[in-house]
């Protein structure tokens, strides 16, 4: 009788302890992305799906949140509202060095994980507007990006390149990129800026409507490159936008890189797991969006201005990347 009671007691204790132990181990993290028409949102989704396939291995679940973009994501990561965020390399540089929106307040706990696709500063204009260069924007209605987005800063840099003042020389609209394509086709604006990887849904929408549009070349960017270390020359392949009226195969511009950032407060184990899953399955990851096709393990360590998180460093050292 005593043996039976002891067996029942052990069984009961075992049943009680098993779910508690497993529940305690699962951790949930969220990646802040951008608008649903951009590349940030599918990039975050791709990362989350990869990690969640191994959720039992890492005891980790990753979710994705559509947000206002780079500035929002960095601030949310720093405030602890998000564990990870995707941000332009220029915004990462500015945050860690206390510039622009973070003037005098360097974000010392900001950490980089890896970089993703290149992002081109893309200027789309209606044919009827006669806008063929940055200088031609003068006097026109131009959407330059929503507050909290990386493209707003890029648009301002592009305007400065042409000696234009957003308050005096153009009629600036502060629209989200997801709203700008329909505004262009409705003739409520003449042009809009969008810093994004290609191909892109918003630009496909903008070029496929009743109003004829084209992508404006921004060729003479050397002054910007000399002033800002995070910019580089870029080219937009026109094969992605067959309905645009451009005749050239590619349009010159400048650009940045998308980067995954986190906080120094996030554990090494979580950052290691995310880094490992993306890098170990890079060929599969690259197939999830055309913008990822240019990725290599080497170029995914470029464009990182913030210190690399120790969890990512551990993986890079294991595979000989550092």
Alpha carbons 86 and 67: distance in angstroms, whole number: 10
Residues 6+ apart with CB under 8 A from 315: 272, 275, 276, 279
Helix (H) or strand (E) holding 73: helix 70-79
pLDDT of residue 239: 94
Q: Are 195 and 120 in contact (CB under 8 A)?
A: yes
Cα 313 to Cα 322: distance, rounded to the nearest angstrom: 7
Q: Which pLDDT value is given to residue 293?
A: 86
| pLDDT given at position 14 | 52
pLDDT in the model for residue 211: 97
Confidence (pTM): 0.79
101 close to 50: Cβ distance less than 8 angstroms = no
Q: Would you state the pLDDT for residue 4?
A: 47
Domain covering 119-256 in this structure, CATH number? 3.40.190.10
Element at 232 (helix H, strand E): strand 232-237
Q: What contacts 136, CB < 8 A, 6 or more positions away?
A: 129, 130, 216
Q: Which CATH superfamily is domain 25-117+257-318 in?
A: Periplasmic binding protein-like II (3.40.190.10)
Domain ranges of the chain: 25-117+257-318, 119-256
Contact by Cβ (8 Å): 313, 322: yes
**Gyration radius from the chain CA atoms:** 23
Q: What is the pLDDT along the chain (322 residues), one digit of tens a residue?
A: 544 444 444 544 554 444 443 455 889 999 999 988 788 999 999 999 999 999 999 999 999 999 989 999 999 999 999 999 999 999 999 999 999 899 999 999 999 999 998 899 999 999 999 999 999 999 999 999 998 788 899 999 999 999 999 999 999 999 988 899 999 999 999 999 999 989 888 999 999 999 999 999 999 999 998 888 888 889 999 999 999 999 999 999 999 999 999 999 999 999 999 999 999 999 999 998 888 988 999 999 988 989 999 999 999 999 999 9
- Identical topology for domains 25-117+257-318 and 119-256: yes
Q: What pLDDT is attached to residue 128? A: 98
CB 268 within 8 A of CB 58: no
């Amino acid at each position: 009788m005593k043996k039976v009671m002891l067996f029942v007691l052990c069984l009961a204790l075992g049943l009680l302890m098993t779910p508690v132990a497993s529940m305690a181990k699962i951790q949930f993290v969220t990646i802040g992305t951008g608008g649903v028409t951009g590349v940030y949102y599918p990039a975050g989704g791709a990362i989350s799906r990869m990690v969640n396939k191994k959720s039992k291995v890492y005891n980790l679940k990753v979710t994705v949140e559509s947000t206002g973009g780079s500035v929002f994501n960095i601030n949310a990561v720093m405030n602890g509202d998000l564990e990870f965020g995707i941000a332009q390399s220029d915004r990462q540089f500015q945050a860690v060095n206390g510039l622009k929106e973070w003037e005098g307040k360097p974000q010392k706990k900001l950490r980089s994980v890896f970089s993703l696709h290149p992002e081109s500063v893309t200027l789309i204009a209606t044919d009827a507007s006669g806008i063929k260069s940055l200088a031609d924007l003068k006097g026109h209605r131009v959407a330059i990006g929503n507050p909290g987005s990386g493209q707003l800063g890029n648009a301002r840099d592009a305007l400065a390149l042409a000696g234009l003042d957003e308050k005096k020389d153009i009629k600036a609209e502060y629209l989200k990129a997801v709203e700008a394509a329909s505004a262009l086709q409705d003739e409520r604006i003449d042009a809009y800026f969008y810093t994004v990887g290609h191909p892109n849904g918003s630009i496909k929408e903008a070029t496929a409507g009743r109003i004829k549009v084209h992508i404006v070349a921004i060729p003479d960017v050397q002054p910007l490159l000399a002033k800002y270390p995070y910019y580089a020359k870029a080219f937009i392949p026109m094969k992605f936008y067959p309905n645009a009226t451009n005749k050239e195969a590619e349009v010159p511009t400048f650009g940045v890189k998308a980067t995954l950032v986190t906080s120094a407060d996030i554990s090494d184990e979580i950052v290691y797991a995310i880094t490992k899953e993306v890098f170990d399955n890079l060929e599969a990851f690259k197939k999830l969006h055309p913008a990822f096709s240019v990725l290599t393990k080497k170029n995914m360590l470029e464009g990182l201005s913030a210190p690399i998180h120790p969890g990512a460093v551990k993986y890079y050292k294991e595979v000989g990347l550092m």
